[in-house]
Amino acid sequence: MKKRIAILATNGFEESELKSPKEQLEQQGWQVDVVSPEWDKIRAWAKKDWGPEYTVDVNVDQARARDYDALVLPGGVINPDQLRMNKDSLQFIRDFFAQGKPVAAICHGPQLLIEAEVVKGRQLTSVENISTDLKNAGADWRNNEVVVDGMLITSRTPNDLPAFNKALVAMVTSSGSV
């Protein structure tokens, strides 16, 4: 059965952290939906300035974790800060954890995991700027390019995307389908 993966993002996501995993997942023949609280399009942050727009496939208030095999949370400074104030986005994340499905977060993406209250007792990594926030939320923070804890995959920065993508594809391949 064909896999279906959600990438939750809004304006200000780090472009490489959405584009690279999306391309890797699509190369497997899987469907990848950009899910957002915005309608129609969202704009990327490309290193130091605004980047291109990406099409939103599903509005988060209509998305259901049960319809997906995995969730990807790209970072960027702006993206998680906006999403953590959106109740539908937080519930969407919590539902993946409740259903035991893979969740992969990179860079500032784990800030959403703090707000969703799913990091306590888990090993993970992130961009170093938020390591103290994760530790204060009860996470066991590691400075590794990729950390896998059960069905949770985390990485630090865009430099870690090759390891992040490899872990993500492996986990989605081995997990069950919706």
Task: Name the residues annotated as catalytic.
Answer: 107
* Dihedral angle of Cα 18, 38, 100, 113, to the nearest 10 degrees: 80
User: What Cα–Cα distance (Å) separates residue 68 from each residue in 52, 58, 168?
Assistant: 26, 12, 14
Nearest alpha carbon to residue 105 among 88, 125, 121: 125
The angle subtended at Cα 88 by Cα 33 and Cα 109, nearest 5°, is 65
Contact 15, 77 (CB under 8 A): no
